[in-house]
C-alpha cells in the first residue's frame, strides 16, 4: 500500500505546485495588464478605466481557467486510462452465448 500512496502524494504535490505557479503567473499578469493599461490611458485619452479593467479581468479569468486545467491534468490522464480499461472490458468477447434460447 505504501507504493501507491507515495505516488499519489507525489502527484498531489505536483498538482499543488502547478496550481500555485499558475496563480503566481495570473497575479503577476494582472499587474502587467493594469500597468500597461495605465500607460495607455496616459497617452490616449479615449481609453477609459472601465475598458482597462474589462480587458484585465478577461485575461485574469482566462489565466484562472488555465490554472484549473493544469491542476486537474493528472486526473485527466487517470480518467483516460480508466476509460480505456472499461472499453476493453466491454468489447471482450464472452464464452456465454446469451442470444440462444434456453433448451
pLDDT at 98: 67
Please give the grid coordinates belonging to residue 7: 505516488
Confidence (pTM): 0.49
Half-sphere exposure of 91 (CA within 13 A, CB side): 6
| pLDDT tens over the chain, length 103 residues | 577 888 888 888 888 888 788 788 878 888 888 899 899 999 998 989 899 889 888 888 887 787 777 777 777 778 888 888 888 888 888 777 767 666 5
Amino acid at each position: 500500500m505504501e507504493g501507491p500512496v507515495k505516488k499519489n502524494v507525489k502527484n498531489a504535490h505536483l498538482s499543488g505546485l502547478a496550481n500555485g505557479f499558475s496563480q503566481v503567473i495570473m497575479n503577476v499578469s494582472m499587474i502587467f495588464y493594469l500597468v500597461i493599461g495605465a500607460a495607455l490611458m496616459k497617452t490616449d485619452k479615449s481609453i477609459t478605466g472601465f475598458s482597462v479593467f474589462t480587458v484585465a479581468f478577461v485575461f485574469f479569468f482566462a489565466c484562472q481557467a488555465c490554472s484549473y486545467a493544469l491542476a486537474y491534468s493528472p486526473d485527466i490522464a487517470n480518467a483516460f486510462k480508466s476509460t480505456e480499461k472499461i472499453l476493453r472490458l466491454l468489447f471482450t468477447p464472452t464464452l456465454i452465448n446469451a442470444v440462444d434460447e434456453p433448451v
